[in-house]
Structure 1
Amino acid sequence: MASMRQRFKLIVTSAAIAVGISVPAYAQETLDEMFEKLATAAPDEARRIEERIADQWSRSGSAAIDLLFQRGRDALDADDPEAAVEHFTAVIDFAPDFAEAYHGRATAYFLTDEIGPAIDDLREVLALNPRQFAAMRGLGIILEDIGRPEQALEVYEKVLAIHPHMEMVPEAVHRVQQELEGIPL
């Protein structure tokens, strides 16, 4: 599934760019308020809300941890997932409750074909942040990739309950439903 991997890389890159954009005007808006708006927003507005949520998630509360986290993201952007694993692992060592470090490391593991560790880190992300829709989408992609369409569909449907316009997820739901119904893709 090389095309799935390429799409995942594109998503990771676009998310990293989007998260890097800060929108100070929304600093007072809470995550709960943003999630309420996300559930009913039009597609364009949903993307802007997604970016604000991701921006908040990417802040650990420590400048040093944020710098290390950024180095991991930079390594992913430079197509160096092995270095990214090292940076995200360092973040996790110092801030084990920072969910986005596990998400970054899961992405890096996935890109190095270490599927088991990627799944473990995605589970940790979701234990720390149950509404982390990008981690859910990543888990769905992996489950689909390893031949577990029923579980992938369940995860994708959870994503859509939180973020109805999440990139690639409606198409993934349709594709998996067709697969499960025996309709040729």
Structure 2
Amino acid sequence: MVMIRQHIKCSVAAFLVLVTYSLPSGVRAQDTEALLQQLREAEPAEAGRLVADISREWSKSGSAAMDLLLKRGRDAMDVGDLAAAAEHFTALVDHAPEFAEGYHMRAMAYYNAGRIGPALGDLEMALRYNPDHFGALRGLAVIFETLGDADRALRGYEMVLALHPNDEEAQNGVERLLITARGRDI
């Protein structure tokens, strides 16, 4: 069983390398700056559509094979198979090392599996390649809050809100942390 699984992994990796190197270099996702600007100014009702559009753009690697790995990883996460998800995302970042969404998604898989250190490392990589990735920033804020680092968590949530003012998780995080910092008025 182990031999078959290892053979399949090697075959998939070889296929992905072949497909990756047969594509023209420099293929990148569409610029999202206009969408991000609209998101900063959006009413709450429109923000959801803009977030979906931005996420769709950030999910385009420029390679059908890499997009398939992203989809398979997400599908594995949807059914709770975090180990398989992490494997798909690892293959993705191995073959597309500048694709921020691969790191972001692997960080989510790691975090959900209780692997905080690797999740932090992948969020750092996601933000290196996409500093506007409000999902990765939110992930950092959640981890810092979980670790009891309220200052960093608050800064993370505030950075999310600078990009996506209607992000309810970030709004709630800021409110929660400010209440904790000040204490409750009676």
The TM-score bracket by the shorter chain reads 0.7 to 0.9
Match of 2:122 in 1: 121
Aligned mates of 1:171, 1:95 — CA distance in 2: 34
Answer whether contact 1:139 1:152 (CA < 8 A) is retained.
yes
Q: CA deviation at 1:83?
A: 0.8
**Moved segments of 4+, more than 4 Å:** none
Aligned to 1:17: none
CA deviation map 1:26-72 (0-9, x unaligned) = xxx84111111111110110110010000000010000111111110
SS at match of 2:166: coil
Q: Percent identity?
A: 47
Report how many residues are paired: 156
1:176 is matched with 177
| C-alpha displacement of 1:183 | 3.2
Q: Secondary structure at the match of 2:89?
A: helix
Q: Write the distance in 1 (CA, Å) between the matches of 2:110 and 2:182.
A: 31
After TM superposition, the structure 1 = structure 2 runs for residues 12-161 of structure 1, keeping only pairs within 5 Å, are 30-161=31-162
TM-score by length of 2: 0.81
Deviations 1:107-157 (A, max 9, x none): 000011000000000011011100000111111011000100110000100
Residues 150 and 180 in structure 1, CA contact (< 8 A), matched pair in contact too: no
In structure 2, C-alpha distance between the alignment counterparts of 1:37 and 1:173, rounded to whole Å: 23
State the Cα RMSD in Å.
1.2
Describe the SS at the equivalent of 2:168.
coil
- Please give the alpha-carbon distance, in whole angstroms, between the structure 1 residues aligned to 2:88 and 2:163: 30
Amino acid at match of 2:139: G
Q: Which sections of structure 2, spanning at least 5 residues, go unmatched?
A: 1-29
Distance 1:183 1:122 in 2: 33
Q: Distance in 2 between matches of 1:94 and 1:30?
A: 22
Structure 1 residue 182 displacement after superposition: 3.0
- For 1:173 and 1:150, the matched residues in 2 are separated by 10
- The alignment's TM-score, normalised by the length of structure 1, stands at 0.82
